[in-house]
Amino acid sequence: MHKIKDRFWLGVISGLGGNVAKMGVEKLFNMTGFSRSYGYKTAAGIFLKKSDVSTPYGKAAGIIADNMIAAGLGVTCSYWLTLMGKDKYLLKGAGLGAFEWTALYGVFSKLGVTAIFPVKPKDSLASFVSHLAFGATKIVITANLGDSRLFKPRNLTLEIDEAQRILTPTGR
């Protein structure tokens, strides 16, 4: 199987894949009656008034926004894995999902970025769990679809030596 060599496209794919997992967890919580929260509603609330979020066009805008945010967070995930390494990647992915949930649903919501705030405690817990699934899934996709050369740290000493060789005039 050909591995993906471009961090950007790898991130987009992993973010969208992670979003499918997040939406599945949200659907499960909604089907069981535990929660009534959906990420697309929160995403729609970034652009729309609360009363417009549940309209057909509001739902479409929310789904687009939710997937675009997920794709962008997937790109950060591919760089995260490059910087931090692939060891214990599942734990790192769940941690990244928890951090993203805290930032996007906690801090930004409190700042008024979305019209869908505040939420009920059960909705908040369901959203947290769905973001754990999002983070873990996107990092599994990144680790397994990405070319291994994307995740090897560069040898800085060799790069410095190479730069000095290039910059040093010959004939000395």
Note the pLDDT of residue 65: 95
The most confident of the ranges 15-24, 72-81, 92-101 is 15-24
77: closest CA among 58, 90, 63, 64?
90
> Given phi > 0 = left and psi -120 to 50 = alpha, else beta, which region is 119?
beta
Q: What is the pLDDT of residues 33-80, one digit of tens each?
A: 999 989 999 899 889 998 999 999 999 999 999 999 999 999 999 998
Upper half-sphere CA count for residue 56 (Cβ side, 13 Å): 0
Supply the Cα-derived Rg of the chain in whole angstroms. Answer: 20
Residue 156 has pLDDT above 60, yes or no: no
Question: How confident is the prediction for the chain on average, in pLDDT?
Answer: 88
| pTM of the entire predicted model | 0.83
Residue 24 has pLDDT above 90, yes or no: yes
Residue 117 has pLDDT above 90, yes or no: no
DSSP 150: G
Query: In which band, very low, low, confident or very high, does the pLDDT at 87 lie, cut at 50, 70 and 90?
Result: confident
Q: Under 8 Å CB-to-CB from 70, ≥6 apart: which residues?
A: 15, 16, 18, 19, 22, 134, 138
